[in-house]
Amino acid sequence: MTTASQSLFASVSRLTVRIMLCAAAGAAAVTGAHAQLVRIGSGATTTAARDAFRVDLGGGTVAGANGLFSDGTGERREINWDGVPDSFAAPNNLPPNFFNANSPRGAVFSTPGSGFQVSANAGVAPIEFDTLDPSYSSTFAAFSPQRLFTALGSNIVDVGFFVPGTSTPGLVRGFGSIFSDVDLANTTSIQFFDASNNSLGTFFVPNLIGSETLSFLGVSFAIPIISRVRITNGNTALGAGITDNGTTRDLVVMDDFLFSNPTVVPEPGTWLMMLTGLGIVGGIARRRRSQSQRVATTR
C-alpha cells in the first residue's frame, strides 16, 4: 500500500467508524435507558462509586499532564481543582475556560449566574468558601483536599465539551462529579445533552443527612454522545448570609469531575449523506430483488 493509499484507507476507516458511531448514537437515543451505566454513592460508598466509574471510562489510575488518564482501556480527564493557582482561586474568580486554555482538558463552564470560584487553600484565604460566608467550612468538605468548585449567583453549572485545547466542539461518553452536602433527595442532579441539544436524561445525586457530607454520581453511555451537562447544585446559590438549613436552603458544591477525553463531533452532513447513500443502495437492491422475482414469476 502506498503512503497515500494508506492515508486514504485510514481516513475511510475513521469515517466508517464515525458513521457506525452515529448510527449507533441514534439507536442509543431511542433506547437510552439501556445504554447508560449509572454509578452512585454517598458517605462511605462515595469512593467505591468513583472508582467503579473510573473503570467504566477507562484510563487507569495514574494522572498524566492536564488531568489525562490514559492506558490500554481508554482515556479520561479529571479535574480535582487542587492545582488551580491561588491567583484563580477564592477570593478571585476562575475563568470559565481555564480548563480548556490554561490547563487544556476540554471543559468550558457557563452559568446563568455571575461566574465561578474555586475555594482557597489554608493560609492563603479562608477555606471551603468561607470567603463567601463563614458558615461554609462547616457546611462543606473536600473529597480531594483542599479545593472545591462552585458557581456564583446561581446553583447551575453547564459544562460544555471541546477537543482539549481547541475551539472544536467535542463529545464525551460519560461524566461524573463528587458533591458535598447534598441534603435533599431528587434535587441535586446532572442532566446530559447530545450535540443537537436533546436531553439524554436527568440523574439525581444521592443525598445524605448531615453536614460536610460527600456524594458521587457518574453516568456513562456506550459511545461518545454527550455534548454538554447541566449540573444543578441543591436549591440555592451560595452567598453572604445565605446559610444551609438542609431543606428550604440546600447548598451544594462540587469537587472532582471525571469525564472521558473529549473527541471530535462527527460531521452530521457527512454521515447523513453516507447513510442516505446506504439507503439508496438498499432501495436499489430491493428493486432489483423485486424485478428478478417478477421475472421468475413470468417465466
| List of residues contacting Ca ion (CB under 5 A) | 80-82, 142, 144, 147, 181, 183, 244, 250-251, 255
Please identify which residue in the block is written with the cell numbers 453511555: 221
- Between 56 and 255, CB nearer to Ca ion: 255
- Between 212 and 267, CB nearer to Ca ion: 212
Nearest-approach distance from CB 281 to Ca ion, in angstroms:
53
Instruction: Identify the helix (H) or strand (E) that includes residue 156.
Output: strand 156-161
- Between 19 and 258, CB nearer to Ca ion: 258
Return the DSSP state at 103: S
- Between 143 and 161, CB nearer to Ca ion: 143
Nearest-approach distance from CB 138 to Ca ion, in angstroms:
11
- Between 75 and 82, CB nearer to Ca ion: 82
Long-range CB contacts (within 8 A, 24+) of 119-122: 119/81, 119/89, 119/90, 119/146, 119/147, 119/148, 119/149, 119/150, 119/253, 120/86, 120/89, 120/90, 120/91, 120/147, 121/86, 121/89, 121/146, 121/147, 122/146
Nearest-approach distance from CB 261 to Ca ion, in angstroms:
20
3-state DSSP of 2-57 = CHHHHHHHHHHHHHHHHHHHHHHHHHHHHCHHHHEEEEEEEHHHHHHHHHHHHHHH
Nearest-approach distance from CB 65 to Ca ion, in angstroms:
18
Question: How many Å apart are CA 244 and CA 139, to the nearest integer?
Answer: 7
- Between 163 and 253, CB nearer to Ca ion: 253
Nearest-approach distance from CB 80 to Ca ion, in angstroms:
4
Q: Are the beta carbons of 35 and 56 closer than 8 angstroms?
A: no
What type of residue sits at position 128? E
Nearest-approach distance from CB 274 to Ca ion, in angstroms:
44
